[in-house]
Structure 1
């Protein structure tokens, strides 16, 4: 996608923040531009990592979520606070790269299913048909003559039997395709590969961290152990899915898939590191000693700069993985990060705080606007909810006021206010309420104003 197209897509879900959208769109487009260059030049162009700075609830995480949906590239969002320094109990930072490779595998596997799905479904259908009504023989003149001809050499019996089998199989095939037999049960043979014990312990013992290629080890042990078939009795709808997965597994070249996944993660992967301000020194010093936080920053350095990480599919180089880091920095400052890490995020974008006009737009403009969500939810119970313009104005005003008087949580304040506002309608529908249900400015004042006046209530409810 071009930068303009990316921004247009983000505009459907995130209000304002044009500087941030432009910076993200340019960074993503530069990945594509780099891949079009010669190998010599391509290796020297490093991604320009972004540091997104802004208060909570202004769209940082939402932009990341939407980018993951629209970009079609491997994208992983992780919380910086989940990681600990090597040597402490918890996840190490290399695990985010392993997660990225898993996402790459999922993307490519989905592409393979789209490409080879029709062929696999046809094979699964034939296999299921053979299970339900085996084709005892395929007509061949010589075999039919040898086994079914009478003393005069007449082939009529063979032809009649073959025609009968074909007709019944055709009828059964049509019933399977139409779904008439989905609830019927059938016995099928399912291939089960004996699982090497090393696979059981690999996720817990950190084999990848010790430089052991788990995929190669599992593959070697798996080939040494025989596959076996297990007979299962399942519904036809489930049997169709099982057989489809087996056929897809046979059609996919897994070695090629793994190579492509590693390359895709290395060349196009994006890691979004949220809450990075929570591992800054100023933040940790105010909340008590936490010796592992600065260690996490130092562990991040080689990943962002470029290193090799062992995954169960092979080695991944992080030189060209793009990193987005985001944080509110309400307690700490970007300068509280260690200098080496600051230098790895050369592009900094500040998000704007939300005002009343932004809240009004957030309520009505996005494709997933809160007002649309409540209309759809209550519409299930036959309630036709309408929000007047003065109601939208009042909701936005109260949200802005609550953020100003208490903790500023940005657009998330709208969720708490809307829940309070819609509580009565959500409870009474459909038994006491039905038909049109209009919400105007007076309704909003009646439901929300008393809470804002009582500061103790507002602190805990809004």
Structure 2
């Protein structure tokens, strides 16, 4: 039994692999998969992409097989951008072609309907000049019959829709709703265990742990106030909140996963005959900086590029054969340390000494 799903992720905090999560599901199930961005969608007849475009991409992913496409997965990101806009610019009665109009079009597909998709981009072979499109045997050649637009009918009843977005401002709506039930003479009193940092929110409850994610408490009425029509919300029975990457998550992405950034840059320097090593403190400093910047794992590459810009130009073609990046280098307080080819022992000694002095070394 399929259940359309919605992913919510906090603003300015990168989430690793939202699309990969849905794509992996499609790979495991061996079904077609398409990715779309809701910001480009408008109501049919207006400038922009029609909502049917997501079904066309799914049909392309299915190699133009309507039966396979009717059992695929459609992933639409930035769905929060199609929330209904009321009173924008003082035009409360104006038609919202990029908001409610898109929701209505998506609603029709999510509840199950037959969509007619034009096969845009398929090559059409024209007959040679003076030819009627027949072969030498006198039979009509379908490939030379001239322009013939094809259309495919796709049944969306068995297509799984996965929607995701940051939902900026939704947390404020949730806070106002929760606050109404936490103030006044009829407000429930927190128990002794709740006063220790766990229990109902939001007032007079000390919190010794990390700040809770308000999106975890979302209710359908919050999404209606945010700008979604009730019919659209009822078609998304499963709403999941994704947590931002922690520093330990970033550390694993930086060093442990297959094709990690550390292994990539180590191999890059190795092509020039240069050995580069990072101390544990340097790796933690890089992850801490990426966490503070936001943007998730994507921020790691920018930090690494900036950090290794000097050694990437200084070391190749010189007498430098060993490069060490320690915590001070990662913080921008010092320049990278270099050793020539005949001082390999000094390089390895410096690296091990740095890790021994750092509490989190040799991890």
TM-score (norm 1): 0.48
Q: Larger relative CO (CA 8 A, sep 6+): 1 or 2?
A: 1
Q: Is the 8 A contact 2:78 2:164 kept in 1?
A: yes
Superposed CA offset, 1:269-316 (max 9, x none): 000001111222369959x99822221111111111111111335211
Q: What runs of 5+ residues in structure 2 fail to find an aligned partner?
A: 120-150, 172-222, 336-363
Partner of 2:274: 383
Q: Is the 8 A contact 2:34 2:75 kept in 1?
A: yes
Q: Is the 8 A contact 1:421 1:447 kept in 2?
A: no
Q: What runs of 5+ residues in structure 1 fail to find an aligned partner?
A: 1-44, 106-257, 450-462
TM superposition shift of 1:326:
0.7
Superposed CA offset, 1:309-361 (max 9, x none): 11335211000000110111123464422221111111111111222222222
Decide whether aligned partners of structure 1 residues 299 and 318 sit closer, same or farther in structure 2, where only a CA change above 3 A counts. Answer: same
Partner of 2:84: 281
Matches within 5 A, 1:43-442: 45=1, 47-55=2-10, 56-59=13-16, 60-67=18-25, 72-105=30-63, 261-267=65-71, 269-281=72-84, 285=88, 291-294=96-99, 295-311=101-117, 312=119, 314-332=152-170, 334-335=223-224, 336=226, 337-400=228-291, 402-403=292-293, 408-432=294-318, 435-442=321-328
Superposed CA offset, 1:186-222 (max 9, x none): xxxxxxxxxxxxxxxxxxxxxxxxxxxxxxxxxxxxx
Decide whether aligned partners of structure 1 residues 331 and 440 sit closer, same or farther in structure 2, where only a CA change above 3 A counts. Answer: same
Decide whether aligned partners of structure 1 residues 350 and 290 sit closer, same or farther in structure 2, where only a CA change above 3 A counts. Answer: farther
Partner of 2:195: none
Q: Which has the higher helix share?
A: 1
3-state SS of paired residue (2:62): helix
Q: Is the 8 A contact 1:52 1:324 kept in 2?
A: yes
Distance 1:301 1:283 in 2: 20
CA radius of gyration, larger in: 1
Decide whether aligned partners of structure 1 residues 282 and 347 sit closer, same or farther in structure 2, where only a CA change above 3 A counts. Answer: same
Superposed CA offset, 1:23-64 (max 9, x none): xxxxxxxxxxxxxxxxxxxxxx4x101111112411223423
Distance 1:69 1:377 in 2: 31
Distance 1:426 1:64 in 2: 37
Aligned-residue CA RMSD (Å): 2.9
Decide whether aligned partners of structure 1 residues 77 and 440 sit closer, same or farther in structure 2, where only a CA change above 3 A counts. Answer: same
